[in-house]
Each structure stands twice: as structure tokens, then as C-alpha cells.
Structure 1
Amino acid sequence: MARGNQRDKAREKNQEKLAGQKNKNGMTGSEQQREKDKVAAIMQAKQAAALAKKEADGKK
């Protein structure tokens, strides 16, 4: 049981490190929804462009 104290010290150090880290997500719910909608619109535009290109290539 010589390692018990070492484990406890490592656990305390890790808890302090995690507490010191800033939360990566600072957006509110409405901001997250706006961002999600914006990304969805971009992806839909890309999909439409890819489909149009595919159809144009197929008609040649």
C-alpha cells in the first residue's frame, strides 16, 4: 500500500488542473442553435452544388 498516497496526490493534482481549465463551450443555447442552422445551410448549399455538378457531368 505504498502507492496509495501517490495515487491520491495525482488525483488531487488532476482535479486542480481540470478545475483550472476554461470551459470550451461558452455559447448559450440560442447561439448554439444559430451556429447549427448556419452550418446546416452551408452544407445544404454544398450538397446542391455537388448534385448540380453531378447532373451536368452526366448530361455531357
Structure 2
Amino acid sequence: MTRGNQRELARQKNLKKQQQSKKQATATGKDGNKGVTLEARKQRDADIMREKQKKKEAAAASAGATGGGTSG
């Protein structure tokens, strides 16, 4: 019955391998960042965040303009 032991050892080995690969995965290794410098990534991310902020402000302004007119 060594087969159960082999399975357990294989599971442990695979778990260790997966943990090592997670540690080695950096921002440069991800698909969206391949071939892009750090400065370019920072600029791209900043542009994305600015666009999100503009959309959020526009949504807040339109919500405030339509629902904020109650005075007593």
C-alpha cells in the first residue's frame, strides 16, 4: 500500500511548487504588463484611475442634480 504515500508525497510536492511559482510571479510577468516599463505601467494605471474618477464625479453630479432639490 505504498500508493497512498506516493499520492501524499506528490500532493506535497505540487503544493510546494505552486507556492514557489506564486512567489516568483511579479508585476512584470503578468500578461498585461509584458514588455512595458515600470514608468509606462505607472502612467497607464494613473490614466485609468483618472478616467474612473471622472466617471464617478459625473455620476455623482448627475445624481445630485436630479435628486437634491427638496427644501422645506
TM-score bucket of the superposed structures, by smaller chain: 0.5 to 0.7
Q: CA deviation at 1:26?
A: 1.5
> TM-score, normalization: structure 1?
0.57
Unaligned segments of structure 2, at least 5 residues: 1-29
* Aligned residue type for 2:37: T
Count of paired positions: 50
Higher relative contact order (CA 8 A, sep 6+): 2
> TM-score, normalization: structure 2?
0.48
**Identity percentage over the alignment?**
24
Q: Deviations over 1:7-59 (max 9, x none)?
A: xxxxxxxxxxxxxxxx7321110000000100010000000000001101113
State the match for 2:53 in structure 1. Answer: 44
Q: Equivalent of 1:32, from 14, 27, 41?
A: 41
